[in-house]
Structure 1
Amino acid sequence: MTLTFKARDVPDGGMHTFELGEQKVLVTRDGDEVRAFDALCPHAGADLGQGVRCGARIVCPWHHATFHAGDGSLIEPPALEGLKQYRVKRDGESLSVELNEEIKPPAPRPSHDDHHTVIVGGGAAGFMAAQTLRDGGYAGKVTMLSAENRAPYDRTALSKGYLGGRRPADRLALGGADWAQDNDIDLREGVKVSGLDRDAREVQLGGETLGFDTVIVATGATPNTLNIPGAELGGQYHLRSFHDAEVLKAAAQGKNVVIIGSSFIGLEAASSLAQSAASVTVIGLDAEIMGRAVTPKVGRAIRKLHEDNGVKFHLDARVTAIEGSGKAEAVCLKSGESVRADLVLLGIGVKPNSGLLSDLANDRGAVPVNAELLAAPGVYAVGDIALTPTVLGEMRVEHWRVALQEGMTAAQSILESSGLEPMDRRVPFFWTQQHGKSLRYVGHAESLDDTHLWGNLDELEFIEFAFKDGLAVAASGMGMDKDLAAFEELLRLGRAPGADEIRQGAFSLAERLRGN
């Protein structure tokens, strides 16, 4: 199939999506330079033409994967690969793209032949580190030690698509079912790492030691537990691993489910289980749901979405005990109320698994690293354990996209890549999906004391900004994807709008990004 168009159909310095039958082609133009790519983001299929372009960066409107406008290469996850690029031909004023003429990216020059990188952890950060090493030409040995008896998988899908039956188990694997074999990764599953000797450059596996030149510690986090009467009873679940989700999904069918915790994991699980459980009740310690990320008025609007789908809530409520005979049968609240429970899901936060680097960690278990994720010579700390510099300052972030960013950065640092994008130039971002609606959150706000909202909460089409020292440092929203993608780029560039300007009334952040 052939796409034909005129150069003037694409704005200079911009991009445009063309439809060709059932396919979509994204075309970028910079003066006389015109390039063509697959228009659908390889992460979740969003039309990239509905996103934003910022210089050489093409930003996906949904989950903010970012690609290079010159060659389609991956700049920012959660996509795991770049875009297919097609050859563009010129005939006078007309341009054409043949979809069977793909431009293959040049193979990277092999490097680090006699090098060994050990990755401790098989989650998002560890996976992305291994993938980036191989994509960048790393020819040495890569060993991945995973505590789970499973190859790396998309953990975000557990509480979203998998529990709700929309994403089967065989579609969870990151990189495909044969990823480790295809990329020559020595993946060891079900492995417990007992120690790390930084001076000897050895990882200890019980009776075995494994030498390394560099080690990437990506050990993740462990869910918090309750310390109340009845905490030992059966029928209580966490949602951290595939095994957790598999057991919970089967157990919740037709049952009265009580979720303790009113933040993202608990609410995503409530959304997913609402169709299969007999009832779903969420108990939250705060006065409104998602209280650390959004203001009460936004929380109320999203809670109404849940309530319209049958989810019940007990908020500003403290759990004092779990009651039952051998297994949980009721959750007791400080108010004296008792909530019937056939099973209980605990969504009360996590603590970082920083034991291998405990001498480097702070009193909260976070391991300080530099902008390239180095915690010590030859030792990288990534993911949930890392206290990382960002454009908004140093922070430990537990979100999926940030973990992927950190894995990519650590690998690029090992490769001494000319394309290294250090973490202090990156912006935190996450998303949550509940009852078919997506809330996206850009940046980070320590406080919600100073905020302003654009849009309509009743229609769930809004952006809520949070300010610090008169500048926007975070924005969350629904239904305004292009502007949120633009806001991330503005934060990255140090051009975020001020509180006074935002309060004057809504304007296009995408236009602001273009300099208009």
Structure 2
Amino acid sequence: MSILTFQPSDVPDGGMHRFEAGDRKVLVTRDGDVFHAFDAVCPHAGADLGSGVRCGARIVCPWHHAAFDASDGSLLEPPALQGLKQYRVRRSAEGLSVDPNDTVQVPPPPPRLSGHHTVIVGGGAAGFMTAQTLRAGGYAGHITMLTAEHRAPYDRTALSKAYLSGDRPAEKLSLGGPNWARDHDIDLREGTRVTSLDRDARQIQLAGGETLSFDVAVVATGATPHALKVPGAELEGTHQLRSFRDAWELREAAEHKRVVIVGSSFIGLEAASSLVEHAASVTVVGQDAEILSRAVTPRVGRALRSLHEDHGVRFQLDSGVTALEGRGHLEGVRLKSGERLDAHLVLLGIGVGPNSGLLSALADDHGAVPVDAELRAAPGVYAVGDFALAPTVLGTLRMEHWRVALQQGMSAAQSILESPVLEPMSGRVPFFWTQQYGKSLRYVGHADRLDDTHLWGDPGALKFIEFAFEDGVAVAASGMGYDADLAAFEELLRQGHAPAADEVRTGPFSLVDRLTQG
């Protein structure tokens, strides 16, 4: 393995530079005369961090916006689950050098909260990240994780993408590796249903009759897919996509079959792109005039629909389903126009509702559970994930996004630990991404409406950024082919320095330059 040598002037002060050291990529940061070196490959999905952005103490991944501390590589933002490997930087008369074999061993944090018991209800992203962050932060108490699924925590985002397409096997879905619970001393109880939570007594009742006492409970029960309320909805051949079992059943059933997907948002479209190569046909039915109508404008939606059509997906938009038809098993889908689509199976992608039953006394009229900036719903009880109504830099929101759930789990764990590096949710930015046909659309921020927008680039060429404004300031940006700029936009939002609508309309300009130049 090659030793990297370089001069101080090769790395901009306050910035970073990626070098090649044989077959290894090394990222070097500089602050005055202080240099640090790290593995330049993001541990989440393998992105080149040298193509990302640096914002103060943060190194931000260009793909999925994981963030790492520029001085020690520690994890600041998911979806990465661990920090960066750090290498020692040595000085000599000839300059600076890094040997990728010479790693900096970070001492573990001192043990904390020995004798404490945290019970996590739910094995999804938020529950997993709570446990992961607790152990990484030195939590020495007992952690019990209760999940209704008969599986250890896994990457749910892959279900509608790589798993459904057949590109990622089931054994590669686990979060933290196949032995994560054992390696982190987690008492993982699969196939366990919780019937009640007593906040005052700090006890959880299990379906089998067992009672667990807790010092802290973290409720991460997620959301439940909406059902289609039409005649024939009970027919065999109707599928949802929320769990691994759902995805497995759908993948097995769809081979060489006519598939109708009800819903033209992200889950439905990801499933369409994954199934179209294996199914006899795929048709997407959407009630709006264009796909993804809540996230992007019609011009962008048309471009993304064309991408699907080029791969053989058909669309019935500005439409709806009035009945599912068949004798025992699904045979067709009746649209509100009266047209009948032949179908062997239907996938419902019509949204989810918050699964807040354990904390129903705290929930609002929509089933969301309000929490504070540290995800605390009540003394000793945290609510994280899809049903939590939590502060963000853009106000209080309930978000059904994978990275938001991971962020909430991280913040809750830091709060339990009373961590000095606590990053409350009120300082975090919502972000999600979708991947279809190998193309990624990334969405930063949140916009309730799309009546004031501006577009840079060409959606037809799948290279654009679309901004949404509220009160004359950008609150959201979605795009393809502008990875570093979108990462920079997230940092600008986090700092409260998002560009004004008038400034965006004079563009395009480099959001990375805007970030680094202040």
TM-score bin, normalised by smaller chain: over 0.9
Q: 2:384 maps to which residue? A: 382
Question: Corresponding residue for 1:185?
Answer: 186
- Residue in 1 aligned with 2:407? 405
- In structure 1, the residue matched to 2:476 is 474
Residue aligning to 1:65: 66
The residue that corresponds to 2:130 in the other structure is: 129
Determine if the alignment matches structure 1 residue 10 to structure 2 residue 11: yes
Q: 1:236 aligns with which of 238, 247, 266?
A: 238
**Preserved CA contact (<8 Å) 1:203 1:211:** yes
Per-residue Cα deviation, 1:28-63 (whole angstroms, up to 9, x for no partner): 011110110000000000000100000000000000
Q: CA deviation at 1:92?
A: 2.3
Q: 3-state SS of the aligned residue for 2:283?
A: strand
Give a deviation string over 1:157-177, Cα, whole Å, max 9, x none: 010110111111111000000
Mapped partners of 1:339, 1:463: distance in 2: 36
Q: Aligned-pair distance for 1:328?
A: 1.1
CA contact (8 A) 1:7 1:93 kept: no
CA distance in 2, matches of 1:167, 1:283: 27
Q: Secondary structure at 1:270's aligned position in 2?
A: helix
Residue in structure 1 matching 2:289, options 265, 287, 290: 287
What amino acid does structure 2 have at the position aligned with 1:391? V
Q: Give the structure 1 partner of residue 397 of structure 2.
A: 395
Match of 1:414 in 2: 416
User: What is the correspondence of 1:77-88 to structure 2 with a 5 Å cutoff?
Assistant: 77-88=78-89
Say whether the 8 Å CA contact 1:154–1:172 is kept in structure 2: yes
Q: What does residue 221 of structure 1 align with? A: 223
**Residue 501 of structure 1 pairs with residue 476 of structure 2:** no
Whether the 8 Å CA contact 1:261–1:283 is kept in 2: the answer is yes
CA deviation after TM superposition for structure 1 residue 21, in Å? 2.0
Q: 1:258 aligns with which of 254, 257, 260?
A: 260
Taking the aligned partners of 1:7 and 1:353, their CA distance within structure 2 comes to: 54
| Distance in 1 of aligned mates of 2:472 and 2:496 | 13
1:141-152 equivalences under 5 Å are 141-152=142-153
Per-residue deviation, residues 338-393 of structure 1 (Å, max 9, x unmatched): 11111100000001110000010001000000000000000000001100000000
Aligned to 2:325: 323
- Using structure 2 for the length normalisation, give the TM-score: 0.99
Which of 365, 371, 374 matches 1:372? 374
SS of residue in 2 equivalent to 1:64: coil
Q: Normalising to structure 1: TM-score of the pair?
A: 0.99
Separation in 2, partners of 1:147, 1:432: 27
Contact 1:196/1:204 (<8 A) preserved = yes
Letter in 1 for 2:336: K
Report the alpha carbon displacement of residue 208 of structure 1 after superposing the two structures with TM.
1.0
Output the CA distance in 1 between the equivalents of 2:383 and 2:189: 20
Which whole-Å deviations, capped at 9, do the CAs of 1:207-241 have from their partners, x for residues lacking one? Answer: 11000000000001110001110011110101100
Tell me the CA shift for residue 105 of structure 1.
1.2
1:120 CA drift (Å): 0.2
- Once the two structures are TM-superposed, the CA of residue 93 in structure 1 deviates from its matched residue by 4.6
Matched with 1:300 is 302
AA paired with 1:146? T
Q: Distance in 2 between matches of 1:478 and 1:144?
A: 38
How many positions carry a matched residue from both structures? 516
How far has the Cα of 1:96 moved from its partner? 0.5
The reply to whether residue 100 of structure 1 matches residue 101 of structure 2 is yes
Report the equivalent of 2:31. 30
Residue equivalent to 2:356: 354
Name the structure 2 match of 1:45. 46
Q: In 2, Cα distance between the equivalents of 1:20 and 1:277?
A: 45
Provide the identity percentage: 72
Tell me, in whole angstroms, the C-alpha distance in 1 between the residues paired with 2:454 and 2:349. Answer: 29
Which amino acid is 2:412 matched to? A
How far apart in 2 are the matches of 1:414 and 1:15? Answer: 33
Structure 2, gaps ≥5 residues long: none
Secondary structure of the equivalent of 2:177? coil
The residue identity in structure 2 corresponding to 1:153 is Y
Deviation per CA, 1:419-454, whole angstroms, max 9, x where unpaired?
000000000000000111100000000010000000
Q: Give the equivalent residue in structure 1 for 2:487.
A: 485
In 2, the alpha carbon distance for the partners of 1:289 and 1:105 equals 48
Greater than 6 Å deviation, 4+ residue runs: none
| Matched position secondary structure for 2:443 | strand
Structure 1 runs not aligned, ≥5 long: none
The 3-state SS of whatever aligns with 2:353 is strand
1:91-150 superposed Cα distances (whole Å, 9 cap, x missing partner)? 125110011111011110001001000000000000000000000000000000001000
Which letter does structure 2 place at the counterpart of 1:270? A
Give the 3-state SS of the residue equivalent to 1:157 in structure 2: helix
User: SS where residue 361 of structure 2 aligns?
Assistant: coil
Partners of 2:35 and 2:94 in 1: how far apart?
Answer: 12
Equivalent position amino acid for 1:70 in 2: S
Root-mean-square deviation (CA), in Å?
Answer: 0.6
**C-alpha separation in 2, matches of 1:19 and 1:254:** 46
Deviation of 1:23 after TM superposition, in Å, equals 1.3
How far residue 7 of structure 1 moved from its aligned partner, in angstroms, is 1.0
User: Shift of residue 458 of structure 1?
Assistant: 1.6
**1-side partners of 2:61 and 2:375: how far apart?**
25
Q: Secondary structure at the match of 1:294?
A: coil
Write the letter of the residue equivalent to 2:261.
I
User: What's the CA shift string for 1:437-494, capped at 9, x where partnerless?
Assistant: 1000000000100000001112100000000000000000000000000000000000
Equivalent position amino acid for 2:220 in 1? A
